[in-house]
Amino acid sequence: MDFFAYRYTRMNRKHFVKTLGLGSSALWAAGCGKGSTQLGGLPEFDSEKPSRFWKSVRDSYALTQDRVYLNCGGLGPASTVVTDAVAAKSAELQRISETGHAIMGEVRIEAARYLGAETEEICFTRNATESNSIIAAGLDLKSGDEVIFESHAHPGGSFPWLSRSQRDGIRVKVFDPDPTSFAGNLERIEALITPRTRVIQVSHITAPTGIVFDVAAIATLARSKGIWFHIDGAQSAGMIPVDLSRIGCDSYATSGHKWMGGPRGTGILYIAQDRVEEVATLHAGGHSGDSYELPGGIEFHKGARRHEYGTRATELVEGLRVAMDFQTRIGKERIEAYGAERVEELYRGLEAIDSVSVLTPSDPEMRRSIITFKSSKVAFDPLNNALSRDYKLRCRRVTERGLDAVRVSPHIYNSPENCARVVEAVKAIVSAA
Ligand SMILES: Cc1ncc(COP(=O)(O)O)c(C=O)c1O
Phi-psi region of 97 (alpha: psi -120 to 50; beta: other; left: phi over 0): left
CB of 251 closer than 6 A to ligand 1? no
Residue 174 has a pLDDT of 98
Closest CA to 103 of 316, 266, 267: 316
Q: 333 vs 15, 18, 428, CA distance in Å?
A: 13, 12, 34
Name beta bridge partners: 205.
Answer: 212
Task: Using most ligand atoms within 8 A of CB, pick from 235, 264, 398, 400 the residue to mutate for ligand 1.
Answer: 235
Residue 35 has a pLDDT of 34
Q: 338 vs 19, 100, 255, 332, 363, CA distance in Å?
A: 14, 36, 21, 10, 17
- Contact present, 401 and 51 (Cβ < 8 Å): no
CB of 79 closer than 6 A to ligand 1? no
- Contact present, 365 and 11 (Cβ < 8 Å): no
CB of 267 closer than 6 A to ligand 1? yes
Strands 371-375 and 267-271: unpaired
Residue 114 has a pLDDT of 98
Closest CA to 344 of 356, 362, 329, 327: 362
Helices 13-22, 332-351: axis angle to 10 degrees equals 150
Closest CA to 316 of 88, 154, 162: 88
d(CA 79, CA 261): 7
Q: Show the CA angle centred on residue 129, arms to residues 93 and 250, nearest 5°.
A: 105
DSSP state of 257: S
Instruction: Kindly give the confidence (pLDDT) of every residue in the chain, 433 residues in length, as a single tens digit, with 9 standing for 90 and above.
Output: 333 333 333 333 333 333 333 223 323 333 333 333 444 568 899 999 999 999 999 999 999 999 999 999 999 999 999 999 999 999 999 999 999 999 999 999 999 999 999 999 999 999 999 999 999 999 999 999 999 999 999 999 999 999 999 999 999 999 999 999 999 999 999 999 999 999 999 999 999 999 999 999 999 999 999 999 999 999 999 999 999 999 999 999 999 999 999 999 999 999 999 999 999 999 999 999 989 999 989 999 999 999 999 999 999 999 999 999 999 999 999 999 999 999 999 999 999 999 999 999 999 999 999 999 999 999 999 999 999 999 999 999 999 999 999 999 999 999 999 999 999 999 999 999 9
Q: Whose CA is nearest to atom 7 of ligand 1?
A: 128
Residue 33 has a pLDDT of 34
Name beta bridge partners: 394.
Answer: 69
Closest CA to 114 of 303, 240, 26, 299: 240
Residue 9 has a pLDDT of 36
CB of 262 closer than 6 A to ligand 1? no
Single-letter amino acid code for the residue at 264 = R
CB of 369 closer than 6 A to ligand 1? no
Q: Which helix (H) or strand (E) holds 167?
A: helix 155-168
Residues 6+ apart with CB under 8 A from 229: 199, 200, 201, 218, 219, 222, 223, 248, 249, 250, 251
Residues belonging to the chain: 433
Render 45-74 in DSSP notation, one character per residue: P-TTSHHHHHHHHHHT----TTSEE-BTTT
Task: Using most ligand atoms within 8 A of CB, pick from 201, 232, 236, 239 the residue to mutate for ligand 1.
Answer: 232
Closest CA to 326 of 34, 90, 78: 78
Ligand 1 atom with minimal separation from the 73 CA:
14
Residue 41 has a pLDDT of 64
Q: Whose CA is nearest to atom 16 of ligand 1?
A: 207
Q: Sign of the C-alpha dihedral, residues 396, 399, 405, 409?
A: negative
Give tens-digit pLDDT for 331-352: 999 999 999 999 999 999 999 9
Name beta bridge partners: 299.
Answer: 291
Name beta bridge partners: 338.
Answer: none
Cα atoms in the 13 Å half-sphere on the side-chain side of 185: 30
Residue 31 has a pLDDT of 34
Give tens-digit pLDDT for 172-209: 999 999 999 999 999 999 999 999 999 999 999 999 99
Name beta bridge partners: 396.
Answer: 407
Calculate how far, in angstroms, residue 40's C-alpha sits from the geometric centre of ligand 1. Answer: 32
Domains by residue range for the chain, with CATH: 96-324 (3.40.640.10)
Residue 42 has a pLDDT of 85
d(CA 177, CA 46): 39
Task: Using most ligand atoms within 8 A of CB, pick from 134, 154, 411 the residue to mutate for ligand 1.
Answer: 154
d(CA 234, CA 204): 8
